[in-house]
Structure 1
Amino acid sequence: MSLSTGALETPGRGAGLADVFRSRFLLKLLVSKELKVRYRGSVLGLLWSYVKPGVQFIVFYIALGVFLGLEQSSRNPNGLPNYAIYLFSGIVLINFFTEALGNASRSIVGNGGLIKKIYLPRQLFPMASVWVSGVHFVPQILILIVACVLNGWRPGLLELAAAAAGFLIVALLATGLGLLFGAINVYFRDAENLVDMLLMIATWASPVLYSWVMVREQLGETVFNLYQLNPITVGVEAFHFAFWLPTTDGAEAIPPHLLSLWLSVGLAISAGILLLGQLVFRRLEGRFAQEL
């Protein structure tokens, strides 16, 4: 009696992100479960998606726009026009990234009880965290759009394409890093502390609160080009180009070669990190149940 091994697979390993696509219904259930668990017993519920970024925006706007003079005014003509929109367009994107990466990196350990009981594609858990962050991103971007329209925002196809590209770059980066640190965190819980430090740096390592011009003037062209290699930087600049720049008189310059070069570079780097995260995740996922 012969036994065919052609259809056998290594236990605990699937087809990677292809399993997520084939398990779309399970992904939907996990997203729904995360949202229900997160807001269980909460008075405001999903309204926290408005409150938290709103408070964050007010604090940064008063501290930087008013006290440090980044807002353009009659007393400070060298500030940024419509600094409130400039600031909020960066905040909504960086909030999506920090929430997605923070939750995705803890998703495997957080669902350890479920992983030890049944087998389902492990990639579903980090992906569900990214999708939940996307749900929270929607009301914030709607508020941004309303504010932009009230300030004369009339976007063209180029601006809309830039916004979509910026979001895609950051989403791919968050997913890739979420898979990477989510897998490593099962074996080394220090990964959570490393992610916390990265998230603390992320807001300041991209032009969310300040202008890219400051980086080039203070650090020079060479360092500025290295600064542009950060996909979050490119994503935030794309959002500024799409949402903030059309509300100004157009005198403000966008970073050199943003549309012709840096968007493609940012997309390539984010795609590469996604591939790396997927490879590491598939390499380590076979022993998740035992390690948890």
Structure 2
Amino acid sequence: MTQIDYSAFDTPGRGRGILDVFEYRYLLRLLIGKSTSLRYRNSVLGWFWSYVRPTVQFLVYFLVVGQILGLHKSVPAFPLYLFSGLVLVNLFNETLGAATQSIVSNRALVRKIYLPRELFPLAAIIGAFTHFLPQLAVLIIVSLLFGWLPSFASVGLVLLGMLLVLLFVTGLGLFFAALNVRFRDASNTVDIIRTIATWSVPVLYTWAMVYERTEGFRWLFHVWISNPLAVAVEMFHHAFWGALPMVNEASPAPANLGWPPEFGWHVAASVGVILVTLVIGQLVFRRAERTFAQDL
């Protein structure tokens, strides 16, 4: 009887998880193109919505929090402070929502052929990231109008802040994308998380306000600021708002101008949270993907 050597073949359905995505770069590009082309399909304004939605959101928060509640009095250049944090929160919300719906939205492909299922959440995240770039461009232009001068430090903080958010969303996206196939309530849970995200980081207020109100519970402040999204938002604030001459020369100096106390430990803690999220997200995704085709 002829012996067949199976060593050159891969067992279907087994792989290295998210690492296999690098071997399917061509498919990843196709999925990214598909997600970006369908996002504003049959839309009159098209890509212009990438500017309209954050602009309306910014105006509402600026009028309510800045003018009515008077935060602009204690925060110089408050519009830039608000906008620099808001664009990063929008990145988190957009990418997490897209990743959660990625498997369900591509049910036809998932049912018919085998390919690393992680391609779908990653393609959704990258596709949503491309729609974040126009907001980042507007932020840079507005910052220049305020007198911002870019430096290596500010550029590094911007890149590091985006990297933290994208890695954090990758772990959460894998987790909720898998759950959303079996339990469609996962998408509703993500909607709640996206709502909380806007208020759980120092965008509509400052970290100094939280620090002052947690004087008797300092551990609570450290837990709160160790949120990867909060750490990334502070990096954006220091990259754009904190580098403005009018902010540094303000008298008295804003209480939130410097880094939060022990911020280095908060950054380390946020990296730990991201690593744990990535591991849990990948494990849950690998376990759930066995029944994706049946559940869809």
Residue 193 of structure 1 pairs with residue 155 of structure 2: no
Deviates most, 9-18 or 282-291: 9-18
Task: Give the superposition deviation at 1:159.
Answer: 2.1
CA distance in 2, matches of 1:159, 1:257: 20
Corresponding residue for residue 209 of structure 2: 214
Corresponding residue for residue 279 of structure 1: 283
Deviations 1:71-119 (A, max 9, x none): 02xxxxxx11111001101111010110101110111111111210112
CA distance in 1, matches of 2:280, 2:149: 39
CA distance in 2, matches of 1:46, 1:138: 11
Deviates most, 260-269 or 43-52: 260-269
Q: 1:242 to 1:257 in 2, by over 3 A?
A: farther
CA distance in 1, matches of 2:142, 2:29: 31
Corresponding residue for residue 45 of structure 2: 44
Task: Give the superposition deviation at 1:181.
Answer: 0.6
Corresponding residue for residue 75 of structure 1: none
Corresponding residue for residue 94 of structure 1: 89
- Aligned partner letter, 2:239: A
State whether residues 13 and 286 of structure 1, in contact with CA within 8 Å, keep that contact through their aligned partners in structure 2: no
Corresponding residue for residue 12 of structure 1: 13
State whether residues 12 and 114 of structure 2, in contact with CA within 8 Å, keep that contact through their aligned partners in structure 1: no
CA distance in 2, matches of 1:282, 1:9: 17
Corresponding residue for residue 230 of structure 1: 227
Corresponding residue for residue 26 of structure 1: 27
Corresponding residue for residue 249 of structure 1: 248
Deviations 1:17-64 (A, max 9, x none): 222111111111111111111211111111111110000000000010
Task: Give the superposition deviation at 1:65.
Answer: 0.3
Residue 56 of structure 1 pairs with residue 57 of structure 2: yes
- Aligned partner letter, 1:157: F
Deviations 1:212-248 (A, max 9, x none): 1111111232211110121111111111011110111
CA distance in 1, matches of 2:25, 2:268: 29
Deviates most, 123-132 or 12-21: 12-21
State whether residues 99 and 133 of structure 1, in contact with CA within 8 Å, keep that contact through their aligned partners in structure 2: yes
Deviates most, 168-177 or 268-277: 268-277
- Length-normalised TM-score, structure 1: 0.92
SS for the counterpart of 1:42 is coil
State whether residues 165 and 263 of structure 1, in contact with CA within 8 Å, keep that contact through their aligned partners in structure 2: no
State whether residues 87 and 136 of structure 2, in contact with CA within 8 Å, keep that contact through their aligned partners in structure 1: yes
- Where structure 2 has 5 or more consecutive residues not aligned to the other structure, the ranges are none
Task: Give the superposition deviation at 1:10.
Answer: 5.0
SS for the counterpart of 2:204 is coil
- Length-normalised TM-score, structure 2: 0.91
State whether residues 16 and 282 of structure 1, in contact with CA within 8 Å, keep that contact through their aligned partners in structure 2: yes
- Aligned partner letter, 2:129: G
- Aligned partner letter, 2:15: G
Task: Give the superposition deviation at 1:5.
Answer: 5.8
SS for the counterpart of 1:71 is helix
Deviates most, 18-27 or 166-175: 18-27
Task: Give the superposition deviation at 1:157.
Answer: 2.0
- Aligned partner letter, 2:208: V
Would you say how many aligned residue pairs link Structure 1 and Structure 2? Answer: 285
Task: Give the superposition deviation at 1:7.
Answer: 5.5
Residue 104 of structure 1 pairs with residue 99 of structure 2: yes
Corresponding residue for residue 169 of structure 2: 174
State whether residues 13 and 285 of structure 1, in contact with CA within 8 Å, keep that contact through their aligned partners in structure 2: no
Deviates most, 275-284 or 264-273: 264-273
SS for the counterpart of 1:23 is helix
State whether residues 163 and 239 of structure 1, in contact with CA within 8 Å, keep that contact through their aligned partners in structure 2: yes
- Aligned partner letter, 2:69: L
